[in-house]
Amino acid sequence: MTRIAIDPVTRIEGHLRIEVEHDSDVVQDAWSTGTMFRGIEQILAGRDPRQAWVFAQRACGVCTHVHALASVRAVENALGIAIPPNARIIRNLMSGVQFVHDHVIHFYHLHALDWVDIVAALSADPAATASLCQATNPGWANSSTAYFTEVRTRLQAFVDSGQLGPFAAGYWGHPAYQLPAEANLLLVAHYLEALEWQREIIKIHAILGGKNPHPQTYTVGGMALTLAPDAPSGVNTTALGTIGTLLTSIQNFVSTVLVGDVKLLARYYQIPWTTLGAGPGNLLSYGEFPEADGASPAPFLPAGRVTGRDLGSLGPVDQAAIAETVARSWYTYSSGDSGARHPSAGETTPTYTGPQPPYDNITTTKYSWLKAPRYDGAVYEVGPLARLGVAYAVGVAPVRQAVDAFLSDLGLGQAALFSTIGRLAARALETQLLADRLPTWLAALRTNITGGDLRIADTTRWSPDTWPATASGWGPTEAPRGGLGHWIAIAGGSIANYQMVVPSTWNGSPRDAAGALGPWEQALVGTPLVDPTRPVEVLRTVHSFDPCMACAVHVHRPGS
């Protein structure tokens, strides 16, 4: 057995170490190590619950508003607050735009370079690339020979400069790259276009949230915005028109460029990558994008669980069945044990015991700052694949149509979804589904505003004088990377306990008390390595989950 480590894993948010053990150039075992500590829960203790979202969303600057949403939902759940329809719609718009923005950035700027050889693009024929673009991305404006000649010239100048920046350590020329030169050039061109596109469409967050990242218009009970069709500021007719124009840009880029590019990549890599990287085969989604009001509104993407890679099975999600263990994590519980605890009873007490790199004793000791969340004791994957798998099992018509069409086009069966390529495809299809749904939510908001319904927040429980002496609640949401939950306990008007279980804690967890590997660890076992000194195959599967270690862990300075 030979052990290798990638530390740090780049093109992610935060700090991650992945260690694998291989024999005959096939991964036999794996360890996922979060190398920084998260202390947001400790920062929140004793604070006003109405302020929690401001601090909680600073857990990450990439996920932007999702922690704010989970936080206000947790407080609203604890205090029995129902938000007005306009607040629900605006939250949907902000989340939907965040999903699309995040997924596009992930594919082109974080994940694509595991599959795309930038240097090989220099040998591409611009005329042949133009023809490929016209077939892959029909209707896209930038598809001429002159355009791809210009992109290739820019790329050549960049390489000739010798100042490659974040691309300097890439595995260029690796034998595991399978795209022809023209496909490489096409995807490099769209990488550059996506940089410009994402800068524009996130302006929707600035309109509805005041800024991005970390929008500032959330509040317990709704949103802190002004709604009026003819108001000089706030959400008015002009703002709605601007949002509508940006949503059209979203639909155009996603349907014409992103989905076609993912299909192109999947065609060249479906062997063997539609069978590798399967993970645990258990999927969990909290559900998101409520399209009605009331105690349990039906969301566009439903809640549920799929087990054993069976899309014909469906189970409910009961947050009481969620628990975290710290058997292999650098934490201690006051009780002295390291077993399963529900997040509402969770503790965040860091106790770093090593080991130091190269982690020679990693097989038997604690090795990560991530805890190990489990559902009823079982390992679950969260994220786009989980959301689409659950929605497919529920029978959501547009999801079934999109998934079936994608698989049929590539000649694949449902089993291919449980793979590295399947995870990539699920993210692209979810992006298209949300891009198509966003205008519906905007139209509903426009109807309310022009009809005179300007309610944006419920303030009847704003004052602590109206609160019970003690209260507890949880705030579930779906972040782009997967299920996100915040749990809060309130006593005497202050936060008595606060716990966050984030997507990358689910997916990147270490082994639990029973020794079960986390999702990333399971997904890496069986991965072939063409060149173990340049393990791009490991990166492909890890990046397919879109790690966000900043959410999962934060800086810790012992003694401070």
Q: Which of 63, 143, 374, 486 is catalytic?
A: 63
What residue ranges in 200-256 does DSSP mark as E strands?
Answer: 218-219, 222-223
C-beta separation of 256 from 137 below 8 A: yes
pLDDT band for position 556 (cuts 50, 70, 90): very low
Phi, psi of 15 (to 5 degrees): -125, 125
Check residue 552 and give its pLDDT: 61
Q: Which of 481, 540, 543, 554 is catalytic?
A: 481
pLDDT above 90 (res 165): no
Known catalytic residue: 143? no
Report the DSSP pairing between strands 494-501 and 322-325: unpaired
SS3 content of the chain, % helix, strand, coil (to 5): 45, 15, 40
Domains of the chain: 2-506+527-552 (1.10.645.10)
Assigned token pair, 36: 């920084």
Residues paired with 317 in a beta bridge: none
At 283-318, the pLDDT tens digits run 999 999 999 998 788 999 999 999 999 999 999 999
Check residue 444 and give its pLDDT: 98
C-alpha distances in angstroms, 171 versus 117, 214, 337, 424?
A: 8, 34, 44, 20
Q: Which of 288, 374, 548, 554 is catalytic?
A: 548
What residue ranges in 271-398 does DSSP mark as E strands?
Answer: 283-285, 288-290, 299-301, 304-306, 322-325, 372-375
Known catalytic residue: 481? yes
Check residue 438 and give its pLDDT: 98
Q: Which of 103, 152, 551, 554 is catalytic?
A: 551
Known catalytic residue: 504? yes
| Angle, vertex CA 108, rays to CA 242 and CA 301, nearest 5 | 65
Check residue 170 and give its pLDDT: 87
Report the C-alpha gap between 535 and 523 in whole angstroms: 15
**Stretch 325-348: mean pLDDT, rounded?**
89
Helices (H) and strands (E) in the chain, counts: 17, 14
Known catalytic residue: 548? yes
pLDDT above 60 (res 559): no
C-beta separation of 333 from 349 below 8 A: yes
pLDDT above 70 (res 560): no
SS3 448: helix
pLDDT band for position 553 (cuts 50, 70, 90): low
Residue, of 138 and 355, whose pLDDT is higher: 138
Cβ atoms < 10 Å from Cβ of 295: 5
pLDDT band for position 189 (cuts 50, 70, 90): very high
The structure tokens 């190590």 sit at: 33
Residue, of 42 and 542, whose pLDDT is higher: 542
Q: Which of 17, 41, 60, 430 is catalytic?
A: 60
Check residue 164 and give its pLDDT: 82
pLDDT above 80 (res 400): yes
Check residue 294 and give its pLDDT: 84
Burial label, 201 (beta-carbon count in 10 A; 0-12, 13-18, 19+) = buried
Q: Which of 504, 511, 534, 537 is catalytic?
A: 504
Known catalytic residue: 381? no
pLDDT above 90 (res 208): yes
Known catalytic residue: 13? yes
C-beta separation of 305 from 284 below 8 A: yes
Residues paired with 378 in a beta bridge: 375
Report the C-alpha gap between 413 and 269 in whole angstroms: 15
SS3 486: strand
pLDDT band for position 72 (cuts 50, 70, 90): very high
Known catalytic residue: 344? no
At 427-483, the pLDDT tens digits run 999 999 999 999 999 999 999 999 999 999 999 999 999 999 999 999 999 999 999
Asked which of 43-52, 112-121, 179-188, 342-351 is least confident by mean pLDDT, the reply is: 342-351
At 230-267, the pLDDT tens digits run 988 889 999 999 999 999 999 999 999 999 999 999 99
Known catalytic residue: 174? no
The residue type found at 445 is L
At 510-534, the pLDDT tens digits run 999 999 999 999 999 999 999 999 9
pLDDT above 90 (res 497): yes
Mean per-residue pLDDT of the chain = 94
pLDDT band for position 558 (cuts 50, 70, 90): low
